[in-house]
Structure 1
Amino acid sequence: MNEQVQPTGSDPLFNPLSPDFIRDPYPHYDRLRAIDPIHVTPFGQFVTSRHADVSLVMRDKRFGKDFVERSKRRYSEKIMDEPVFRSMSHWMLQSDPPDHTRLRGLVVKAFTARRVEDMRPRIQEIVDQAIDAVIARGHMDLIEDFAFRLPVTIICDMLGIPEDHREVFYKSSRDGGRLLDPVPLSPEEIAKGNAGNMMAQMYFQQLFELRRKNPGDDLITQLVQAEEDGNKLTNEELTANIILLFGAGHETTVNLIGNGLLALHRNPDQLALLKARPELMTNAIEEFLRYDSSVQMTGRVALEDIDDLGGRQIPKGETVLCLLGSANRDPAVYPDHPDRLDVTRPNVRPLSFGGGIHFCLGAQLARIEAEIAIATLLRRLPDLRIDDVENPKWRPTFVLRGLTQLPASW
């Protein structure tokens, strides 16, 4: 083991819920990569910040999720009695093969490139409706009135959530992100997570009943039929993974659109370039993903002793946190000013969607949603200005990086 280097007389290197870190994590990442690229937190987790190490951990079969054992080690043997932890233990995102393979296999067909491409007209229609609703009043909150409605509507379409049930989802709070942060939850936060989880379970159980009686061309119908096939899916797995798909299906895309719009308006030269050359939009989305990723971190557990990860030994059972946001700005991969937004940057391959067997199912859908949303906004509201680009309101979560609001006017 090499000695852990801590800069003297300064803040801890990795304090992800501090206001300063949430406002701008990137200088902290620069320090981690330079000083202590495999950093050990006070909770005993290993934090990887370099692109090479992050890529390796996400793809290497010696690392897995091991969610139940990891949670018991972190909290106590009883943690799986908490409904929100029990539910998360069934998420494909937290599963290892063979469960992961089986669960993912049941939903992957809904996210094929072909099916997602076919959704373009529907995505365009929702974006236009959102702009139509506010265009006359001359101002809106880019998060609530614009970025949020699109992915929520699309995931409701895909899951088969009836139109007249949706208003509650448009108004639902966005405070579930804390469940994913690498800092242990307080008893109050666990209680809040349980309450939210029970509400979601109650709603979806009713929807499953509806779809058993009235099947539709949607993902819930498909999964309810897989559940009836006994060996494919239990009711608990069905409920947990619908909750996961609903959350994952909109949270990250809201942040991608919001963070991308903020980045553009903080870099007026890039905004002007993109307005002048709309054909750059596909590449620009990759650059937004790299520059300020909606998901800043993913985690794995060492399934065996690892002899050498960036010069360190990782004992079996230890947690490794992969800083996607840091890897995306590693000068080893992006030698040309990684901290600069450049919508023409060549060879952008962000790690924002994760990697290996857990690579984001909805990656292509998120890209297309963001592409259509931002392109349409620039085209239809060319003189839109964000009211305060210097001090926007960030959500108080680290893993899911995004804004609570982003007022704009034209």
Structure 2
Amino acid sequence: MTAPAEPQALLLKLLDPAIRADPYPVYRQILEGGPMQMPESTLHVLSSFADCDDVLRHPDSCSDRMKSTAAQQAVAEGQDIRPFGAPGFLFLDPPDHTRLRRLVSKAFSPRVVKALEPDITGFVDGLLDKVADSDHFDVIEALAHPLPVAVICRLLGVPIEDEPQFSSASTLLAQGLDPFVTFTGETQGLEQRLEAGLWLRDYLRELLEQRRAQPADDLMSALISVEESGDQLTEEEIIATCNLLLIAGHETTVNLIANAILAMLRNRERWTALGTDSSRAGAIIEETLRYDPPVQLVSRVAGADMTIGDISPGGQERSDRGIIKVPKGDIMMLLLAAAHRDPAAVDRPDEFDPTRGSIRHLAFGHGAHFCLGAPLARMEAAVALSAVTKRFPDARLAEEPVYKPHVTLRGMARLDVVV
């Protein structure tokens, strides 16, 4: 029997590009070792489903990193921890989060999302038409990437011809979500991300001015005009919101579509079943969100001294796991990729089985921070997956996929299939 790895060594393994194709054995090691509490780093790494679920639901669990002890110390040392200006509402807490989300939700209504479905269907058909006569194609380049990009551009009102520029910036900024600073103290690629972030903010500010002068039928124009109880979004709030939606609206959905396709190609009966019955798409999507989540980890800050693991959702005391004490200001890293494969929460966790019945996952979060774009992501994925399995019933993997270096928004750079 091998000796258990030190907590720091296991966390550093997660950052190793060599495991990007299959990080789940490392997540399993961390899960089996239990919660990692590192008081000297004001860091707590939680990996069980119950613990992650507790934190996401806890009323003292905060998303604003400015509330962390580490951030406050950095500010005291004169560091600028928000070089891009105001953050998107995803990284804020009530009352700011409540106000911004309410105003954004008014413009991001179910009616707007539903109205996009015919266009999404048509766009998917057009993308697949382009590769219909090929004997092979790259799923990322042909379908998984262009679909979410076109949808979010259409929704926000961003010119699709500018896609190469903002996609490049988005990729760099997505790497900023990786926990290099939290785990190692290092700031890899900070200058590049700063340059990309400032460029994207300037780009959106210019586009915003155009929409003020000439409103259009898009979300940016709606955010300019949206008002409730005399409250409106400021220019910086609109820019931060569009920045958030532009990145989150395509990076995660690309990963969802590609991960589902890969899982089905490795489980041929699932590919065939969906190709003959599109009603199976929902279960495929939910199982993909559990089995191979587009967002592998998230963080929260303790807004007060917190106790995790003492009370179950049903109100009964728990005796099956230890109680975790988290001091105010400490950071809690939630390893969703580990939690989703927790044997205590799911039977046969390492199997991709959309027929398992009730599929529990934390991929879209919980409570006030539940993902605003979840219905749109599910719709895009359902249309894309149903169409590609029906159009190419004999598709198979041409070779093993190539992964991007991202840890948090883990996804593929290339996925070649033979049709």
Q: 2:346 aligns to what? A: 334
Correspondences of 1:208-357 after superposition (within 5 Å): 208-226=208-226, 232-309=232-309, 310-335=322-347, 337-357=348-368
- 1:45 is displaced (CA, Å) by 1.5
2:299 aligns to what SS in structure 1? strand
Cα distance in 2 for partners of 1:296, 1:272 equals 28
Q: 1:107 aligns to what? A: 104
2:169/2:197 contact within 8 Å kept? no
Change (3 A) 1:42 1:368: farther
Q: 2:375 aligns with which of 357, 360, 364?
A: 364
Cα distance in 1 for partners of 2:235, 2:5 equals 53
Q: 1:161 aligns to what? A: 158
Q: 1:53 aligns to what? A: 51
Percent identical: 38
Q: 1:137 aligns to what? A: 134
- CA deviations on 1:179-201 (whole Å, 9 max, x unpaired) are 11122175562211111112112
Letter matched to residue 286 of structure 1: E
- CA deviations on 1:377-398 (whole Å, 9 max, x unpaired) are 1111222222113xx2111111
Cα distance in 2 for partners of 1:190, 1:232 equals 33
2:303/2:328 contact within 8 Å kept? yes
1:348 aligns to what SS in structure 2? coil
Cα distance in 1 for partners of 2:96, 2:220 equals 19
Q: 1:116 aligns to what? A: 113
Change (3 A) 1:334 1:74: farther
- CA deviations on 1:11-46 (whole Å, 9 max, x unpaired) are 823232113442222222222222223454984411
- 1:404 is displaced (CA, Å) by 1.0
- 1:278 is displaced (CA, Å) by 3.2
- 1:111 is displaced (CA, Å) by 3.5
Change (3 A) 1:258 1:69: same
Change (3 A) 1:165 1:19: closer
- CA deviations on 1:45-92 (whole Å, 9 max, x unpaired) are 1111111111111111111123224362475543326523x34xx210
Letter matched to residue 209 of structure 1: E
- Give the stretch that moved more between structures: 244-253 or 212-221: 212-221
Q: 1:32 aligns to what? A: 30
1:32/1:39 contact within 8 Å kept? no
Change (3 A) 1:130 1:366: same
Gapped runs of 5+ residues in structure 2? Answer: 310-321
Letter matched to residue 181 of structure 1: D
Cα distance in 2 for partners of 1:81, 1:274 equals 46
- Give the stretch that moved more between structures: 233-242 or 272-281: 272-281
Cα distance in 2 for partners of 1:398, 1:187 equals 15
Does residue 396 in structure 1 map to residue 405 in structure 2?
yes
Count how many residue pairs are aligned between Structure 1 and Structure 2: 399
2:137 aligns to what SS in structure 1? strand
2:173/2:197 contact within 8 Å kept? no
Cα distance in 2 for partners of 1:171, 1:308 equals 39
Cα distance in 1 for partners of 2:73, 2:397 equals 42
Cα distance in 2 for partners of 1:176, 1:311 equals 35
- Give the stretch that moved more between structures: 228-237 or 53-62: 228-237
Change (3 A) 1:175 1:193: closer
1:227/1:238 contact within 8 Å kept? no
- 1:109 is displaced (CA, Å) by 2.8
2:359 aligns to what SS in structure 1? coil
1:174 aligns to what SS in structure 2? helix
- CA deviations on 1:217-259 (whole Å, 9 max, x unpaired) are 2111122235999953222222111111100111100000111
Change (3 A) 1:251 1:164: closer
2:94 aligns to what SS in structure 1? coil
- 1:295 is displaced (CA, Å) by 0.3
2:226/2:232 contact within 8 Å kept? yes
1:280/1:344 contact within 8 Å kept? no
1:175 aligns to what SS in structure 2? helix
Q: 1:95 aligns to what? A: 92
Letter matched to residue 134 of structure 2: R
Cα distance in 1 for partners of 2:167, 2:340 equals 31
Cα distance in 2 for partners of 1:363, 1:41 equals 35
1:151/1:254 contact within 8 Å kept? yes
- CA deviations on 1:139-160 (whole Å, 9 max, x unpaired) are 3221122101111111111111
Q: 2:316 aligns to what? A: none
Q: 1:174 aligns with which of 162, 171, 184?
A: 171
1:177/1:397 contact within 8 Å kept? yes
Cα distance in 1 for partners of 2:326, 2:168 equals 43
2:106/2:226 contact within 8 Å kept? no
- Give the stretch that moved more between structures: 173-182 or 44-53: 173-182
- 1:173 is displaced (CA, Å) by 6.2
Correspondences of 1:43-82 after superposition (within 5 Å): 43-70=41-68, 72-73=71-72, 75-77=74-76, 78-80=78-80
Q: 2:313 aligns to what? A: none
- 1:132 is displaced (CA, Å) by 1.6
Cα distance in 1 for partners of 2:39, 2:178 equals 13
Letter matched to residue 385 of structure 1: R
Cα distance in 2 for partners of 1:25, 1:289 equals 16
2:189 aligns to what SS in structure 1? helix
Cα distance in 1 for partners of 2:359, 2:221 equals 38
